């Protein structure tokens, strides 16, 4: 990768491993291969988990949310890789190690995922199952609306960020939630190019249920400790899917709700989930927080995700 940065340059992720159950941790033998994918005006960093025998019918794309990065998706990447699945975890523009050359929007995220899915399918013909946590959940849905190569969706949230009630729930405080979207829309010519710390915009204290883990997350300069363009937040609040949920039948969806998620509780995702016309299933993850890493929920997620993926493979 030449002079490109790697996660060895930003080792905060190594401190996260102790919070994950053992089989979900990155070790010397399970460390992902790092690469960069050139797309549009972005050099996109990818973590790629390649199994020893890479013969499954599908690949899994892991997408993070706001204040995260691809390396934060490691628990899913490690465990699914151990089950034989190739997994790709990109750093979405504005986060992680992905290099950006202009203020990015949420639309950029959707377009990038769509392009990455097509690039992966072009390589070997294998379709993709997309898994998203936090804001990555709705990103997964928005992407599946555009791309028939996505054969399944696994998400921990479906927060409709264009809904004022959702904006209030996601924001650090009610005042920001009630006024943020309108203010950014009215002043976009002045504010789009401004960057702010992600931690001043949302309930960062609730990213995880272990305070010591939250503290480490906040110190991650390429994750929860990073800065975000106001253009990204404005377009996030304006985002609408290409297909309304009542008309979406492209692929099945598995919804997993962390039982102790205080950023995006079930009441926030339920209205959108109920409207979905596709084959769908919802499960609670016992004892899990916003980033699902606690027992027994994380093992419930592993088992359910595996059966969901295998069922899709049987129908290909």
Q: What is the DSSP string of 143-157?
A: HHTT-TTEEEEEES-
Residue 179: the pLDDT is: 65
Flag whether pLDDT at 210 surpasses 90: yes
What whole-number distance in Å separates Cα of residue 258 and Cα of residue 64? 15
Q: What is the pLDDT of residues 145-192, one digit of tens each?
A: 999 999 999 999 999 988 888 888 876 656 565 566 677 778 788 888
What whole-number distance in Å separates Cα of residue 202 and Cα of residue 171? 4
What whole-number distance in Å separates Cα of residue 193 and Cα of residue 65? 21
Residue 172: the pLDDT is: 62
H or E stretch covering 131: strand 128-132
Give the three-class secondary structure for 129.
strand
Residue 15: the pLDDT is: 96
DSSP class of 216:
H
Residue 228: the pLDDT is: 87
């Amino acid at each position: 990768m030449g002079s490109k940065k790697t996660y060895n340059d930003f080792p905060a992720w190594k401190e996260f491993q102790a919070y994950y159950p053992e089989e979900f941790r990155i070790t010397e033998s399970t460390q992902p291969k790092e690469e960069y994918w050139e797309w549009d005006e972005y050099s996109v960093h990818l973590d790629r988990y390649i199994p020893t025998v890479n013969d499954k019918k599908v690949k899994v794309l892991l997408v993070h949310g706001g204040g995260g990065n691809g390396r934060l998706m490691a628990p899913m990447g490690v465990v699914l890789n151990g089950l034989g699945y190739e997994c790709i975890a990109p750093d979405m523009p504005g986060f992680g190690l992905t290099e950006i050359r202009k203020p990015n929007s949420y639309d950029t995220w959707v377009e990038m995922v769509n392009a990455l899915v097509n690039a992966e399918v072009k390589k070997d013909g294998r379709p993709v199952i997309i898994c998203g946590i936090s804001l990555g959940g709705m990103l997964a849905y928005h992407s599946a609306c555009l791309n028939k190569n996505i054969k399944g969706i696994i998400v921990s949230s479906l927060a409709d960020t264009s809904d004022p009630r959702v904006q209030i729930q996601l924001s650090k405080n009610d005042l920001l939630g009630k006024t943020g979207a309108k203010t950014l829309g009215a002043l976009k010519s002045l504010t789009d190019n401004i960057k702010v710390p992600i931690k001043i915009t949302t309930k960062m204290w609730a990213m995880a249920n272990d305070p010591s883990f939250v503290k480490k997350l906040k110190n991650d300069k390429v994750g929860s400790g990073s800065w975000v363009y106001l253009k990204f937040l404005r377009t996030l609040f304006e985002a609408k899917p290409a297909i309304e949920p009542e008309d979406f039948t492209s692929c099945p969806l598995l919804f997993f709700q962390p039982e102790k998620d205080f950023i995006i509780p079930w009441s926030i995702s339920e209205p959108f989930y109920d409207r979905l016309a596709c084959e769908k299933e919802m499960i609670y993850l016992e004892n899990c927080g916003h980033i699902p890493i606690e027992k027994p929920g994380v093992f419930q997620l592993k088992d359910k995700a595996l059966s969901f993926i295998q069922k899709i493979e049987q129908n290909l």
